[in-house]
Structure 1
Amino acid sequence: MGLLTIGAFAKASRLSPKALRLYDELGLLTPARVDPVTGYRHYAPEQLDQARLVAWLRRLGMPLARIQHVQTLNAAAAAQEVRAFWAQVEADTAARRNLATFLIDHLSRKDPAMSPTAKPLGIRYAALSDTGLVRESNQDTAYAGPRLLAVADGCGSQGAPASAAAIDALKHLETDSIPAGNLLNLLEDVIEQAKQAVNSLSASGSSAEGTGTTLTAMLWTGSQLALVHIGDSRVYLLRNEELFQITHDHTMVQSMVDEGRLSPEEAASHPQRSLLARALGQGADTTPDMRLHDAQREDRYLLCSDGLSTVVPTRDIHRVLAEISEPEQAVRELIALANASGGPDNVSCVVADVMELQQ
């Protein structure tokens, strides 16, 4: 078969002539021959597979520059690149879905406490942080109050001040009023304040280079808990005797799991499993996850640093949360389990129970 005109090639490849001309200009799909007199483009039949790949990748929404890179790869590497791209799309979609859910819940002002038959809810809580058995100092900070629950895990030479500064930036939420319709903006503002507090430490001298912290916090609004999360500290919810992890780890290894490049079992023992993809600190991606959770009576929340989650099996965390009724005793038992497993890292826990208030 001879060369195909641009019209015939467009029909066969399901790309428009306009798209083919653009892809030629960008170097994505160069014609086999361009008539020197008329400028008409002609394509070889063997270019159809390449053209169809470009068409499919465009339908996925892949940027043209990334398509150009995919075309330079062998089949296996190209498949891996497409897998990685789609994992990122799904992660971005999940983040937007969470934000959309937050906005819908917030704008619709779902508030069970406004029901004339609803009993007012409150929280009882306990927080504890421990150095562990290996580290010389504790770079974690844990906090629990009537409205604010938070855990931060610092890193770098100024990790301890960084985690403390991040949580200190949120403590005014304990007493500040939350204007109606302004919760989302309030959370964005406090994350920015925490970021600036951490960055001020990083900028204080060369010894503070690489300083950063995770930040996972929940704000009690009277009937809901507003979550802000960045890093690899976690929140678990015990509801109706089932345990759910309601945060997603922002680590490079978790990204590899999401992309299908690692199994969860491989990730658990990966040497870089603590390398953060998002954190508060200079040069890091500081985009937080934000979510609203409708509280139910007898819900139990656990906020913890990775000093607990990386060494204590989920089944043991579940057992402690289900069997030990007092928050203070529960946090002590969880930290004891981490230390019984070698205590290789600082460990911090906050346990909060949702309960009916006595009238």
Structure 2
Amino acid sequence: MYPQLAIEAAAHSDVGRRRSHNEDSFAALPCVGLFMVADGLGGNAAGEVASRMAIEVVKSCFEEGEELEETWPYGTATPHDRDEVRLVLSVRRANRAIYEASQQQEVRGMATTFAGVLLGRGMAYIAHVGDSRVYRMRGGRLERLTRDHTLLEELLGDSDGAREAVEALSERASVVTRALGCEKSVDIESRVEATKPGDLFLVCSDGLWGPVPEARIEGVLGRHRDLSLAASLLVDIANENGGPDNVTCVLARLGGG
């Protein structure tokens, strides 16, 4: 979509220390400015099917340039509006495809989280469902740009005093309350952020941000300009800290910084 943008990218994914197979899927597509991570949910490898479907469906909507069937008043919308809506509609299409496939007995109940960033001219378009995250590194500071769709985050949003009650139920606090494929329709959260040259975006599964503190992530990204090295180091640190889950890290940096 934006081949003229100078975008450097790298990605790394690993099964972790405690899982038998990797149910994370990802894509890093500098040619269209699209970077995504999906973390599959469901037994019998169904999560792997769901996450792969999410990535492939959204990817096809951009790489093949096909028109999405949902209507949108493109004639009256700005290009920025169109890009945000195109990303959201592509994730909505992925949700529908996963839901329909999940009705089959062998993959019944499969679902996946999703987090994606579309980088355009001067703007970043973000869409997510679940607890995969998007961060931005700017001026040496790491900032989270997504809000987890988990029991903990939702109750914290309702009440300042909810943290103690939820953390007492530690096994349930991280339960995902929203994912692709669970229902025919899903509430996809999106936002638009102005970009600056040198902005570095991180898209990752909870296998990274769970075991690795944000201060440590910030330190690694601040010390290492080589994105392939940074992505590999972050995954290694997650595994050194127990590797409780599949871990995926996608990095994209805008040129000019």
TM-score (normalised: structure 2): 0.85
Question: 1:240 matched to which residue of 2?
Answer: 139
Do structure 1's residue 176 and structure 2's residue 65 form an aligned pair? yes
Question: 1:166 matched to which residue of 2?
Answer: 54
Kindly state the Cα deviation for residue 189 of structure 1 after the two structures are TM-superposed: 2.2
Aligned counterparts of 2:158 and 2:22: Cα–Cα separation in 1: 33
Question: 1:294 matched to which residue of 2?
Answer: 194
Kindly state the Cα deviation for residue 353 of structure 1 after the two structures are TM-superposed: 0.7
Q: Say if 1:278 and 1:284, in contact at 8 Å, map to a contact too.
A: no
Q: How do 1:149-164 and structure 2 match up within 5 A? A: 149-157=35-43, 158-164=46-52
Kindly state the Cα deviation for residue 220 of structure 1 after the two structures are TM-superposed: 1.9
Kindly state the Cα deviation for residue 183 of structure 1 after the two structures are TM-superposed: 2.4
Question: 1:128 matched to which residue of 2?
Answer: 12
Aligned counterparts of 1:338 and 1:320: Cα–Cα separation in 2: 12
Answer 1 or 2: which has greater strand percent: 2
Amino acid at match of 2:36: A
The Cα offsets for residues 105-151 of structure 1, whole Å up to 9 and x where unpaired, read as: xxxxxxxx9xxxxxx74211111111001001111112101121000
Q: Choose which of 262, 267, 280 in structure 1 pairs with 2:180.
A: 280
The Cα offsets for residues 46-91 of structure 1, whole Å up to 9 and x where unpaired, read as: xxxxxxxxxxxxxxxxxxxxxxxxxxxxxxxxxxxxxxxxxxxxxx
Question: 1:200 matched to which residue of 2?
Answer: 100
Q: Say if 1:141 and 1:153, in contact at 8 Å, map to a contact too.
A: yes
Superposed CA RMSD in Å reads 2.5
Do structure 1's residue 314 and structure 2's residue 203 form an aligned pair? no
Structure 2 counterpart SS, 1:163: helix
Considering only CA atoms, is the larger Rg found in Structure 1 or Structure 2?
Answer: 1
Kindly state the Cα deviation for residue 284 of structure 1 after the two structures are TM-superposed: 7.9
Q: 1:268 to 1:186 in 2, by over 3 A?
A: farther
Kindly state the Cα deviation for residue 256 of structure 1 after the two structures are TM-superposed: 2.0
Q: Say if 1:170 and 1:194, in contact at 8 Å, map to a contact too.
A: yes
Count of equivalent residues: 238
Q: Say if 1:202 and 1:210, in contact at 8 Å, map to a contact too.
A: yes
Structure 2 counterpart SS, 1:283: coil
Q: 1:325 to 1:264 in 2, by over 3 A?
A: farther
Amino acid at match of 2:23: Q
Do structure 1's residue 327 and structure 2's residue 236 form an aligned pair? no
Amino acid at match of 1:305: S
Aligned counterparts of 1:265 and 1:242: Cα–Cα separation in 2: 31
Amino acid at match of 2:113: T
Aligned counterparts of 2:13 and 2:118: Cα–Cα separation in 1: 20
Higher relative contact order (CA 8 A, sep 6+): 2
TM-score (normalised: structure 1): 0.62
Question: 2:34 matched to which residue of 1?
Answer: 148
Unaligned ranges ≥5, structure 2: 68-73
Question: 2:23 matched to which residue of 1?
Answer: 139
In percent, how many aligned pairs have the same letter? 33
Q: 1:318 to 1:266 in 2, by over 3 A?
A: farther
Aligned counterparts of 1:318 and 1:133: Cα–Cα separation in 2: 23
Do structure 1's residue 215 and structure 2's residue 114 form an aligned pair? yes
Q: Say if 1:320 and 1:330, in contact at 8 Å, map to a contact too.
A: yes
Kindly state the Cα deviation for residue 208 of structure 1 after the two structures are TM-superposed: 2.2
Aligned counterparts of 1:319 and 1:219: Cα–Cα separation in 2: 25
Amino acid at match of 1:149: F
Structure 2 counterpart SS, 1:263: helix
Answer 1 or 2: which has greater helix percent: 1
Kindly state the Cα deviation for residue 204 of structure 1 after the two structures are TM-superposed: 1.4
Q: Return 305-314 or 255-264, whichever deviates more.
A: 255-264
